[in-house]
Amino acid sequence: MTTKDVVTLERSDNSSCKIHVFGATLYSWINKGEEMIFVSSKSHFDKKKAIRGGIPIVFPNFGPWDLGPQHGFARIMSWNSTEVSKDESSNPMAVFNLSDTEETRKMWNFRHVSWITFQLTYIVTLLEDSLKTDFIVKNVDDKQLGFTCLLHNYFKVPDVTKVTVSGLNGLRYKDKVRGGEMFTENGELVTVSENIDRIYQDTPSEHILKQVAGGCSIVITKTELPDTVVWNPWKENAASMSDFGDDEYPQMLCVEAGFVAKQKVLASDEKYMGSQRLTVKQVV
């Protein structure tokens, strides 16, 4: 990976994030010196396969896809870094874009323009650091288009069995570990002690993850991303992936904000924006 493939955002108070332009994948978010994002030690940065970790962009299809690669092409294409700037409060921001190409049109024959923005922000009054990610798609075709999308967040955790996820109680979910059947979550907090791969539908705008990196909590606040995927491959599945270290699965948990239970349909010239804000709450 050469330096031209990486965009780094930095804030004065020992916070930074690094973004690999390939798939516009953020693969490091250091908050007050603590790495908050998981990336496998065996991950590829070879522009051939999605990074095993970070925040890969899933578009235009979540999951297996008859027209192209699983999770779509966005996370395995080189995006254009179009802007690196700071706002009036000196919060750094980076913008990347990807338009349809001959290659994408062979898979998915639609003309579109997509943007990803990452912004590190610090709210002085709340003493809170956050990482904001916006995913925008504009339909520039003369016909309507439909897609699913997701921010595939890999969070770094000291011990996945100690992590709790709020905001899922009472919700219906598709359980990919149990044959894709639908179930209702009956736990106030979701915990992980085995392979978990669930698509929770119509989830609230906020989830609180406790016991993530540095013993902190992370609050996920999302808009226009109505579903939430929770995934940990556990030992056997992790061992079957060449880009996943054998003993790494206890140090990660994916909690992913997406529009996946049904397609988002855009009329010609219509634009969609899905956003998430990850806010770090230091444990007092």
Known binding-site positions for substrate? 52, 70, 75
User: Does 34 qualify as catalytic in the annotation?
Assistant: no
Give the shortest CB-163-to-ligand TA6 separation in angstroms.
Answer: 16
- Give the span between the Cα atoms of 15 and 23, in whole angstroms: 22
- Answer yes or no: are the C-beta atoms of 96 and 184 closer than 8 Å: no
Q: Does 44 bind ligand TA6 (CB under 6 A)?
A: no
d(CA 81, CA 45): 17
Q: How many helices (H) and strands (E) does the chain have?
A: 2, 20
Q: Which of 70, 80, 144, 242 binds ligand TA6 (CB under 6 A)?
A: 70
User: Is the CB of residue 227 less than 8 Å from the CB of residue 258?
Assistant: yes
Smallest distance, Å, CB 117 to ligand TA6?
22
Question: Are 57 and 49 within 8 A, CB to CB?
Answer: no
Which residue numbers belong to the known binding site?
A: 52, 70, 75
Q: Which is nearer to ligand TA6, 95 or 259 (CB)?
A: 259
- Residue 176 touching ligand TA6 (CB under 6 A): yes
When asked if residue 71 is in the footprint of ligand TA6 (CB under 6 A), the reply is: yes
Residues in the chain: 284
Peptide bond into 158 cis (omega under 30): no
Nearer to ligand TA6, 131 or 150 (CB): 150
Residues 182-201 that bind ligand TA6 (CB under 6 A): 197
Q: Does 63 bind ligand TA6 (CB under 6 A)?
A: yes
* Both structure tokens of 284: 């007092």
Q: 153 with 178: CB under 8 angstroms? A: no
Q: Out of 152, 185, 207, 248, which one is annotated catalytic? A: 152
- Total binding residues toward ligand TA6, as defined by CB under 6 A: 11
| Closest to ligand TA6 by CB, 139 or 153 | 153
Is 256 a catalytic site residue?
A: yes
In terms of C-beta density within 10 A (0-12 exposed, 13-18 middle, 19 or more buried), how is residue 101 classed? exposed
**Binding segment (CB under 6 A) for ligand TA6, from list 39-47, 63-71, 107-115, 137-145:** 63-71
Q: How far is the CB of 111 from ligand TA6 (least distance, A)?
A: 26
Provide the 8-state DSSP code for 125: G
Tell me which residue has its CB nearest to ligand TA6: 231
Q: List the one residue from 7, 19, 36, 50 that touches ligand TA6 (CB under 6 A).
A: 50
Q: Spell out where 21-161 has E strands.
A: 25-31, 34-35, 57-58, 80-86, 92-99, 112-123, 128-139, 145-151, 154-156
Decide whether 175 or 270 has the Cβ nearer to ligand TA6: 175
Query: DSSP state, 101?
Result: -
Kindly identify the residues of this chain, within the stretch 229-258, that bind ligand TA6 according to CB under 6 A: 229, 231, 254, 256
Question: Shortest distance, CB of residue 99 to ligand TA6, whole angstroms?
Answer: 24
Q: What span, in angstroms and rounded, lies between the C-alpha atoms of 264 and 260?
A: 8
Select 120 or 218, whichever has its Cβ closest to ligand TA6: 218
**Site for ligand TA6, rule CB under 6 A:** 50, 63, 70-71, 152, 176, 197, 229, 231, 254, 256
